[in-house]
Amino acid sequence: MAVKFLSLACIRNESRHGDLSPRPHYPSMPRYPKGLSSDQEKNMEGSEAIALFSVIGMTCSACAGSVEKAVKRLPGIIEAAVDVLNNRAQVTFYSTFVNEETIRETIEDVGFQATLIKEEMNEKATQVCRICIKGMTCTSCSTTVESALQVIPGVQKAQVALATEEAEVHYDPKIVSYNQFLQTIEDTGFEGILISTGEDRSKIQLKIDGVRTDNSMRMIENSLQALPGVQNIDLDIGLQKFSLSYKPDLTGPRNFIRVIESTGSGRYKAVIFPEGGGRDVHRQEEIKQYYRSFLWSLVFTIPVFLTSMVLMYIPGIKHGLDTKVVNMLTIGELLRWILSTPVQFIIGRRFYTGSYKALRHGSANMDVLIALGTNAAYFYSVYSVLRAASSPTFKATDFFETSSMLISFILLGKYLEVLAKGKTSEAIAKLMDLAPGTATLLTLDDEGNVINEEEIDSRLIQKNDIIKIIPGAKVASDGFVIWGQSYVNESMITGESRPVAKRKGDTVIGGTVNDNGVLHIKATRVGSESALSQIVRLVESAQMAKAPVQKFADRISKFFVPLVIFLSFSTWLAWFLSGKLNGYPKSWIPSSMDSFQLALQFGISVMVIACPCALGLATPTAVMVGTGVGASQGILIKGGQALESAHKVNCIVFDKTGTLTIGKPVVVNTRLLKNMVLRDFYELAAAAEANSEHPLAKAIVEYAKKFREDGENLVWPEARDFDSITGHGVKAVVRNKEIIVGNKSLMLDQKITIPVDAEEILAETEGLAQTGILVAMDGEVVGVLAISDPLKPSAHEVISILKSMNVESIMVTGDNWGTANSIAKEVGIDTVIAEAKPEHKAKKVKELQASGCTVAMVGDGINDSPALVAADVGMAIGAGTDIAIEAADIVLMKSNLEDVITAIDLSRKTFSRIRLNYIWALGYNLLGIPIAAGALFPSTGFRLPPWIAGAAMAASSVSVVCCSLLLKYYRRPKKLDTLEIGGITVE
């Protein structure tokens, strides 16, 4: 089974029970303004125009549906297609009745920001830039960066994910460049590292070694620019890097390397720049930095801890530490001051930097809390020891261990957090690892004989290269077989467990494994065009997309830190004033403190125990792991919105053909009503159907080939005056006979009498869950064809399991009522809508939503796209069409119905994990802050020292990430592991 969402391969449309006509790209009919004559309508066709709008603010399919509905109400609108994923709306209209500005205003009236995108033909107007952002610590940081990027002119959408520490910016390259994004991020107070500049499929980055001068770089640039097919070159002299856009049909990376290395007479060497701009390298470097900082902090903090809390109880050492240096200043206090200072200002410098940058931009983050808490403890201690040094009577009480231990625990927590966050994106790393590192490139002579073999980096494969795949090796590129035969294991991409036979002409997918024979393949899709790259890109985008529930954390983040600072100050003030005014017994104050110091410890504890990180990580980490787990099981979930909507689903609308059925109709019976040779009958019917792309038409043509002896080279008789009647069938003149092939309503429309025998055969056919097709010649019905599309083996069991999950199943099909009812009865579906056109499917979905249902639509064809967009969750069968998959929120790559259950169950488990994360994060803060403020102290004497409060804060964010990581052990429902289908256990 090939991955069909990469090429528009098979157009499925079963909106008729015998309609064999091809379907247009958009299914609904043009809507002319009312009151026009036929001549006026013809004149209008010449004014047809297409406008593309950027629509900001859409969050779900319902938003897209409301935009689409509003636009379609306008006069002169032919079609409106809204893409939620890319925030776009494409409108086809008659410019004599409506213009772009009116359409734009209509979209804005619905409540969304709309901008007309003026793009040249065949030129990509929107690019997606990905940037790694270093230094973000909580939701406040990510929100600040996101807001700064969003207001840049030319930016259509900006998303910043705290969990992945990345930004994804959709922008118009004609208006803004990625350099402005990097500058904006830097101005906001963070470091931005470019990962990719756009989804330009024909783009590569090359690193040049051996270049000593800028002139040499310019010379290389000129040499590359002269190559045919090179479109654009971006030069980074500092990194000695070239970014090239090119036409893959004319040139490729090997040509660039060859030109570069020949330009300098062998002095220059070119290599492909690390994939993703070295994203993994940056993450590993961050992990190492936190690890080193933590180890150095321990070097100083452990002696501080020992001198203040352990050695003071050993008589001999205690005497030495209590020895006076100047007045009341002791050796122990001086040692703690000296040892804690590097921890506070050198190792803890990152918190000062982060605080300054945040406050400079009017926001407050976790760094502000840490800096305030540690500074309060450190500088009070400095004041205390300086006063002791200058006074013969004042006995100092220092909190140096509080500041140094706080920083050490927080660094440990950040190290563990970064380590854990790295594991949340392991799914992408595993997907990328499927691609082989090297490939065997073949050189052929004019007669197709192999004259040379060369091992190359697989990233250097160019379009139309001939690649050799030996047994046991991974397929290096998407392509098709030109020589050899073998079996290929495609389970890692498609989920198909059995190896698929491959021979000349069959397609292969990069990253799959060749089992036995040797294959020579011709590369067709390379680099970011490949199936694997597109899957990786989809998963990456999904992990960037925010779930609506995350808005809760974003709202809290705006006032969380200022509120904590206020509570901390209030806590200190309350305890201090109570102490001064004798509001509590003196016995409550520890012997080594006074009321001010006790109040200060309570205030610091409140400040450092609060954890905005846990709230910020609650949703994105769970979404990352959930989407990664889904991808590993062949379920591509397009972000948090889809996950959140899927867990609420209580009604699923199933398309029939290709969804509940296998999708490959075959002729199972032929009944002639007139004496004629069966071969002649099928030759005329096939000639009429040969021009149709409908699955039923293909079934008739395929069956007709059995009566011909000329095999693959057969030529059907010429069909003149071919006419496709949408929703009904086809008409054509073949060998001077008028041939009509279609359903019963087509015959009645053509004033053709349907004999009683034919009526009986149709009724019998529909009772057997088959589609009846009538064939008429010269106005007389001469035969009835019975076409069957077998049910998928697991259909009945899947519907049964969904019922046990309290999910109602409905079937919507374009087939006739008789066949539809038979199929529904067989699978166990009670509610059926038959003879439904595409717009009727979408209308039914909206009716269900209006009745209070959360609706999922499962389909695979172009005709399902409106319903997929209208539904709360659109699920596209992976073997379906590009358009259906683009419209869907979830793609079931394996084309197995069982994955519908898995997708819903996974979303429920993921959302439960998000809820658990929020309960923990909120509960921790709601309980931790009062305890740190001393709520338990009056009754129990329990007091939370600041360093323990800091450790609790660090543990909080780590625990949220670890809670999300438990999703990695997700297993699909046990009912699916022992699914009984016809006596065979499917595992």
Q: Which residues are catalytic?
A: 655
| Cβ(303)–Cβ(294) below 8 Å | no
Dihedral in degrees, nearest 10, Cα atoms 246, 252, 258, 259? -20
User: If you search the block for the tokens 């009912």, which residue do you land on?
Assistant: 975
Is the CB of residue 574 less than 8 Å from the CB of residue 336? no
- Exposure b/e, 19-30, CB count within 10 A at least 16 = b: bbbebeebbbeb
DSSP string, 493-543: HH---SPEEE-TT-EE-TT-EE-SS-EEEEEEE-GGGSHHHHHHHHHHHHH
Which positions ≥6 away from 39 have C-beta within 8 Å?
A: none
H-helix or E-strand containing 288?
Answer: helix 279-309
Write down how long the chain is.
Answer: 987
Question: Residue 722, CB half-sphere, CA atoms under 13 Å: how many?
Answer: 16
Write the single-letter amino acid at 981. I
Measured between alpha carbons, how far is 182 from 529 in angstroms, rounded to an integer?
27
**CB of 631 within 8 A of CB of 786?**
no
Say how far apart CA 700 and CA 800 lie, in whole Å: 34
Task: Name the DSSP class of 545.
Answer: S
CB-count burial class (<10 Å; 0-12, 13-18, 19+) for 359: middle
Largest CA distance in the chain: 127
23 alpha carbon, distance to own chain's centre: 30
Q: Which residue has the tokens 């062998």?
A: 266
Task: Let me know: does 51 contact 90? Beta carbons within 8 Å.
Answer: yes
Q: How far apart are CA 399 and CA 379, in angstroms?
A: 9
Residues 636, 539: contact at Cβ < 8 Å?
yes
Cα atoms in the 13 Å half-sphere on the side-chain side of 664: 5
In 896-972, which ranges are continuous DSSP H helix?
898-932, 937-940, 946-965
Instruction: For residues 987 and 971, give the distance between their C-alpha atoms in angstroms, rounded to a whole number.
Output: 13
What token pair was written down for 825?
């009865």
| E strand map for 335-477 | 438-444, 450-457, 466-469
Sheet with 831-833: list strands edge to edge: 635-637, 890-892, 873-877, 855-859, 651-654, 808-812, 831-833
Handedness of CA 142, 143, 146, 148 (dihedral sign): negative
Q: Which residues contact 138 (CB under 8 A, 6 or more apart)?
A: 162, 365, 366, 557, 612, 613, 615, 616
272 pairs with which residues across the strands?
206
Q: Which of 814, 416, 380, 771 is nearest to 604 (CA)?
A: 380
Instruction: Report DSSP letters for 583-624, one per residue.
Output: -S-GGGS-TT--HHHHHHHHHHHHHHH--HHHHHHHHHHHHH
Q: Which helix (H) or strand (E) holds 701?
A: helix 695-704
- Name the residue with tokens 């779900």: 60
Tokens of 273: 């720049």
Q: 839: which DSSP letter?
A: H
